[in-house]
Each structure stands twice: as structure tokens, then as C-alpha cells.
Amino acid sequence: MDRLLPAVLLAAFIIGVALLLQRKKSATPTDAITEHRAPTHLERSQFDAPERPWLVAVFTASSCTTCAEVWAKAAVLESAEVAVQQVELSESGDLHAQYGITAVPIVALADADGAVQSSFLGPVSATHLWAGLAELRNPGSVPPGCTDH
């Protein structure tokens, strides 16, 4: 009987510590969730062709296969009115940091003043990307529902 009480107390202590650790472990993932966002403004002088009325900035990383697909879709938007620039992490990490880029790909469509008028996080279809830019450049030119993403 003298040995039973210490054994019960020790078992209760171990169970209590295990429950505490389990509760702490399950709370950690939700605390670590980060909300990824596109920038709301781009300093046009930091990007190619700042004199053009529109900028399509594609934030990417070389290890990201989805980024390569998004870049291929965006690159064809280059024109006399639209500057398109890939902002790759290993080459332009300073811009990723400055604009708070925490996930890629991110496509930001900015006007002449650098205000981001539309953006896409993650994979985007060519249709949505192209229609999004067309609607910004010429409001009302795209049928309803074509720019939803």
C-alpha cells in the first residue's frame, strides 16, 4: 500500500504532462498559418518600362513548376502598352522582401501609378489572366463572368 500511492501519483503526473504536450502540439499549426497576399502598390521605377501604362509583375521562384506555367501565360501579354516582368526570387529577393511576397506565383496587374488593380495568387488560367488585363485596360470589354478567378 505504501508503494501504491507514489505509483498512482507518478502515473497521474505523466498523464497530465502528456495531455498538456498534446494540447500544445495541436494548437501550433493554426497559430503558424500565414495569409499570403499580393502587394497593393508597386513602385514602377523598380520595374521594366515604367513609362508604359500597365505592368504585369509575375513573382516566381526557380524551383516552382507552377510559376513557370504562370510566367509562360503572362509573358505573351507584353506590348507597347503593357510591360511584363518576371520577378524571380533568387535574382530579385530584395523585391520579394520589400513587397512582402510569402508565396509564389503571384501576378500583380498595376496601372501607371503602380496601384495594383488586380492580382492572382497561385495558378491562373490564361483566359482569366488575359481577360483580367483586358477588362482593366478597357472596362466593359469582357463579358460578365470571364474575369472571375
pLDDT single digits (tens) 7-47: 666 666 677 666 666 665 544 444 444 588 999 999 999 99
Answer yes or no: is 146 within a domain: no
**pLDDT at position 109 over 70:** yes
Instruction: Please tell me whether residues 98 and 128 are part of one structural domain.
Output: yes
Encode pLDDT of 57-104 as tens digits. 999 999 999 999 999 999 999 999 999 999 999 999 999 999 999 999
What pTM value is reported for the model?
0.74
Q: How far from 91 is each of 7, 59, 70, CA to CA, in Å?
A: 62, 11, 18
Q: What percent of the chain has pLDDT over 90?
A: 68
Structural domain of 24: 1-33
Domains in the chain, number: 2
Answer yes or no: is 38 within a domain: no
Residue 17 and residue 19: Cα distance in Å, rounded?
5
Answer yes or no: is 145 within a domain: no
Answer yes or no: is 142 within a domain: no
Answer yes or no: is 123 within a domain: yes
